[in-house]
Amino acid sequence: MTTMAILTDVTRCIGCEECVSACRRTNDTGSDAPYRWQGGVNDLSSTRWTTLVETGNRNVRLHCRHCLDPACAAACPVGALSRTEAGAVAYNPVICMGCRYCMVACPFAMTRYEWESATPRVRKCILCYDKIKAGELSQPACTAACPTEATIFGDREALLAEARSRIAAAPQRYIDHIWGEHEVGGTSVLTISDVDLTDARWPDDLGTGSRPELARKVLHTVPYTFFGVAGLMYGVHWTLERRRQVAAAEGPTAATADPGDEVQRNEEES
């Protein structure tokens, strides 16, 4: 199955926030309430899965970027977060144990939490994958709602081609960069813009390496480490035990000649 994606053209956004309303309606997120733990009134929150931030006099849409190799899914110890075949990073609250490691791991800090609840859930854009899968929607609510087609839904490869052709058609208008094409191994949310998006959660130092790889490299050494250490320890134990037995068999005079025991005895005396 092809990876579906969203392409947002910042230059076309008029800041009407129809995407925000549509998301709220469709996903039934409830109305916003002011809480201490939110980044600000316009920041993402557990009831606001997408939002607009202003950067360089432009409105830039923020929401989960659906990484191709999502750090949140790799972080989750129970598999509550997972990437669907279509490319959406989905969340299953039933099995979530609430460790919030996904929030720590997200390179873009897009996940939000229901801090006010005694049974809190992780909240974020899920690309309307449930509604699309059930056939209720043909595309996410936000892209369907956009009056200027500033944000569109489609096959990732096709959207990349579209983005490239837009930039090629008006090189003086756009910055020659597709945010999300390579960052952190690629995301399913692509953005083209005429202003720099560093302040819209696209930091300069993201790099193109996928985040889960960082830990995978270490995790793959786990069995070797365990058996290596265990083997080494048994080896040391066996050697020292054997030496002690030999020393005992050879009698007390030979034992004093053992340099290891000598050191130990000296230490004890001091």
Q: What angle do CA 72, 126, 80 make, to 5 degrees?
A: 45
Rule CB under 8 A: which of 12-51 touch another protein?
15, 31-45, 48
60 touching another protein, by CB under 8 A:
no
Closer by beta carbon to another protein, 156 or else 211: 211
Q: How far is the CB of 25 from another protein (least distance, A)?
A: 10
206 touching another protein, by CB under 8 A:
yes
Q: How far is the CB of 1 from another protein (least distance, A)?
A: 21
The DSSP 8-state label assigned to residue 150 in this structure reads S
264 touching another protein, by CB under 8 A:
yes
Among 158, 161, 168, 233, binds another protein (CB under 8 A): 233
Rule CB under 8 A: which of 79-138 touch another protein?
79, 95-101, 103-109, 111-121
Segments in the chain forming alpha helices (H): 18-27, 71-75, 101-105, 129-133, 141-145, 156-169, 211-219, 222-250, 252-257, 259-269
The DSSP 8-state label assigned to residue 12 in this structure reads G
With a CB cutoff of 8 Å and minimum separation 6, the contacts of 101 are 75, 76, 77
Q: Which amino acid does the sequence have at 152?
A: I
Q: Give the pairing of strands 51-55 and 122-123.
A: unpaired
Among 4, 60, 76, 145, binds another protein (CB under 8 A): 76
Among 158, 170, 214, 246, binds another protein (CB under 8 A): 214
Closer by beta carbon to another protein, 176 or else 269: 269
Between CA 27 and CA 125 the distance in angstroms is: 9
Closer by beta carbon to another protein, 206 or else 255: 206
Q: How many residues bind another protein (CB under 8 A)?
A: 78
